Amino acid sequence: MTLVESIIIAIVEGLTEFLPISSTGHMIIAERLLALPKDDEFVKLFTIAIQLGAILSVVVLYWKKFFDFKKWQFYLKLVVAVIPALAIGFLLSDRIDELLESPTTVAVSLLLGGFILLYIDKMFNRPRIEEEREITFQKAFVIGFWQCIAMIPGVSRSAASIIGGMQQKLTRKLAAEFSFFLAVPTMAAATGYKLLKTYKEHPEVLSNKENMIMLGVGNLVAFIVALLAIQFFITYLQRYGFRLFGWYRIIVGAALLILIYSGYLK
């Protein structure tokens, strides 16, 4: 991987992390289009660790929320919500790594998820929870389970957790914001685990100076791009809902399947 390639992937991550279109899926496709070796350990690490930069943009945009230590229940709700992902992610780590190498899985997930987004606004159109303080611990836990569906590449962590929030009667805006908050401990844990695993099994990857530079630059780029993407998404979602993202997923998923089965994308 070159520095330019790492920046391209970082831009893709920043643009897609908080949109319901799957950042991991888009990064996998970007890596294939750039012809990066899928068995390269640094590429595998980069795909996971680069998400931390984008996630930190949430802390900056909602810094008053994250550093209001008087509202301890906010932190506890995030802890409760992240438990399912920690448990399932730990148990299925190797299987998830295998799925990350499959563009076909990404294409099918994008396509099916697109049809769901076309109708999601009609399915959950009677929200009654508008404030974070109204989210119970039970609801937070359920939303955390919904998030686990996104361990399948192409599903989208954002989409799964937002849909989970709407299913629990949260408004679209609150569901999206809680999804952003939940991303912080979830991706921090995923990145930490991946870094530790890489350090134990492939220490040469982390001792490579060029790799660390690319990882640092990539996280910075993803952070900046994600700051803009979050603000766009919240505004657009409140006004127009999910249909645009649904059609986007369907078109991209179908196009990817055509490229895969015609031999242009392996």
The pTM assigned to this predicted structure is: 0.86
Within 10 angstroms of residue 164's Cβ, the number of other Cβ atoms is 25
pLDDT score at 100: 66
265, pLDDT greater than 80? no
pLDDT score at 99: 66
Cα separation, 93 vs 54, in Å, equals: 22
Taking residues 214-231, what's their average pLDDT? 94
pLDDT score at 220: 95
| Residue of higher predicted confidence among 266 and 11 | 11
pLDDT score at 28: 82
Closest CA to 237 of 10, 29, 30, 19: 19
- Among 88-97, 125-134, 172-181, 256-265, which is the least confidently predicted range? 88-97
pLDDT in tens, 241-263: 899 999 999 999 999 999 888 87
What average pLDDT does the structure give for the chain? 89
